């Protein structure tokens, strides 16, 4: 069955498949244009249209935690969500504290994955002449940590805490704005450090370096190797990663500490009530067109798309939709038991 989405109907919608003759119409939402979440979602929408399976109406520029709540409540059919926030919802934590653990756990059962993928890796950026040489130097500075109500802000504050021991509001001033406003704030001089996910390479790097050389703060080796940080970087929604020194122009980007960082795992989820055959067909069409879609974006090769299960670790506790499970297995992917 297709879920009726009053939430989607009330918002501005981009009809990715406006000329589709498919009988099915699905509502979906994702992040801003140019981001990895937008790329994956619109690839799925386009595949559904080309296969004549569904007209997927995609809302762009949405807060992904709100998308998660809308899909879990049946107000949206499909959405892009951070995997870390599935853990938070299930346990009634952070931005889902008002739900409580019982309701959060019940709503989480309505979320099933079509695919997992990497949204990129955390880039901690400052201008080379800012006086910030390492993480300890952010004391007393204004630090962009992510969008309001987003899961990234929770991760970034914990990352800073583990690296420096600093507390937000006491040792540094955390700034939460829309994603684009963070980079603009650094350009305007109102923000000293921007910490946000980005593809490899990240498009916003060129925008920043047009104003002068920047420094990327990698996680110090004496921190990255600790048991505590290892657990953190392998928590739901994150994986250890490295920003290689040859990704960016060395004359414009100084990468410290070997570029050690964390990758961010996201998922495209469907409400569990969506028809198995419909999701099977859409996922199969997406898999068939994946190579062509990736060829249009050079950074897409770093998103872990081919396996379908990136970031869907046991601790994430997010299973595949039965239709998607069948499609990935038909494509020759070995799916771990915890995703069934």
- Per-residue pLDDT tens for 145-180? 998 877 788 889 999 999 999 999 999 999 999 888
Q: Any idea how long the chain is? A: 340
The structure tokens listed for 157 are 């504050």
Q: What is the mean pLDDT of residues 189-217?
A: 95
- pLDDT value at residue 308: 95
- pLDDT value at residue 14: 53
Q: What is the mean pLDDT of residues 263-291?
A: 97
- Which architecture does CATH list for 120-264? 3-Layer(aba) Sandwich (3.40)
Per the prediction, the chain carries an average pLDDT of 91
> Which of 34 and 50 is assigned the larger pLDDT?
50
Confidence of residue 316 (pLDDT cuts 50, 70, 90): confident
Percent of the chain with pLDDT over 90: 74
- pLDDT value at residue 22: 64
Phi–psi pair at 238, nearest 5 degrees: -135, 155
> Angle at CA 297, nearest 5°, toward 291 and 302?
75
Q: Is there a contact between 134 and 256 (Cβ–Cβ < 8 Å)?
A: yes
pTM equals 0.82
Residue 75 pLDDT > 70: yes
Q: Domain extents for the chain?
A: 6-118+266-339, 120-264
CA distances from 293 to 40, 54, 192, 202, 287 (A): 9, 18, 36, 18, 10
Residue 70 pLDDT > 60: yes
Percent of the chain with pLDDT over 70: 93
Q: Given this structure, which CATH class describes domain 6-118+266-339? A: alpha beta
Confidence of residue 245 (pLDDT cuts 50, 70, 90): confident
Q: Is there a contact between 74 and 273 (Cβ–Cβ < 8 Å)?
A: yes
Q: What is the mean pLDDT of residues 201-230?
A: 95
Residue 16 pLDDT > 80: no
Residue 190 pLDDT > 90: yes
Interatomic CA distance for residues 225 and 234, integer angstroms: 12
C-alpha torsion sign, points 107, 177, 39, 253: negative
Interatomic CA distance for residues 280 and 290, integer angstroms: 15
Interatomic CA distance for residues 309 and 72, integer angstroms: 20
- pLDDT value at residue 1: 38
The structure tokens listed for 197 are 């996910």
Could you check whether 6-118+266-339 and 120-264 share the same CATH topology?
yes
Q: Is there a contact between 160 and 143 (Cβ–Cβ < 8 Å)?
A: yes
Who's near 228: CB < 8 A, 6+ residues apart?
Answer: 162
């Amino acid at each position: 069955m297709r879920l009726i989405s009053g939430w989607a109907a009330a918002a501005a919608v981009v009809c990715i498949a406006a000329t589709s003759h498919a009988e099915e119409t699905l509502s979906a939402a994702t992040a801003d244009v140019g981001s990895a979440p937008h790329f994956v979602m619109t690839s799925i929408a386009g595949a559904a249209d080309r296969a004549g399976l569904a007209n997927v109406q995609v809302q762009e520029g949405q807060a992904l935690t709100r998308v998660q709540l809308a899909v879990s409540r049946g107000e949206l059919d499909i959405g892009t969500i951070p995997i870390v926030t599935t853990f938070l919802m299930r346990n009634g934590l952070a931005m889902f504290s008002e739900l409580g653990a019982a309701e959060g756990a019940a709503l989480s059962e309505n979320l099933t994955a079509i695919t997992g993928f990497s949204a990129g890796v955390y880039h901690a950026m400052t201008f080379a002449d800012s006086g910030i040489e390492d993480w300890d130097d952010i004391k007393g500075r204004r630090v962009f940590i992510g969008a309001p109500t987003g899961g990234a802000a929770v991760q970034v504050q914990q990352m800073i805490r583990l690296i420096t021991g600093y507390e937000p509001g006491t040792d540094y001033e955390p700034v939460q704005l829309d994603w684009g406003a963070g980079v603009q704030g650094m350009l305007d001089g109102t923000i000293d450090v921007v910490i946000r996910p980005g593809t490899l390479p990240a498009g916003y790097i060129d925008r920043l370096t047009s104003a002068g050389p920047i420094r990327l703060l990698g996680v110090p080796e004496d921190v990255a190797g600790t048991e505590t940080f290892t657990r953190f970087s392998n928590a739901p929604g994150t994986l250890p990663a490295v920003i290689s020194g040859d990704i960016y122009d060395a004359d414009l980007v100084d990468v410290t500490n070997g570029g050690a960082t964390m990758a961010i795992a996201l998922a495209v989820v469907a409400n569990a009530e969506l028809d198995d055959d419909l999701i099977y067909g859409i996922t199969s069409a997406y898999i068939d067109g994946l190579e062509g879609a990736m060829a249009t974006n050079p950074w897409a090769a770093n998103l872990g798309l081919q396996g379908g299960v990136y970031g869907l670790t046991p601790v994430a506790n997010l299973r595949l939709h039965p239709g998607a499970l069948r499609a990935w297995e038909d494509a020759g992917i070995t799916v771990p038991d915890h995703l069934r």
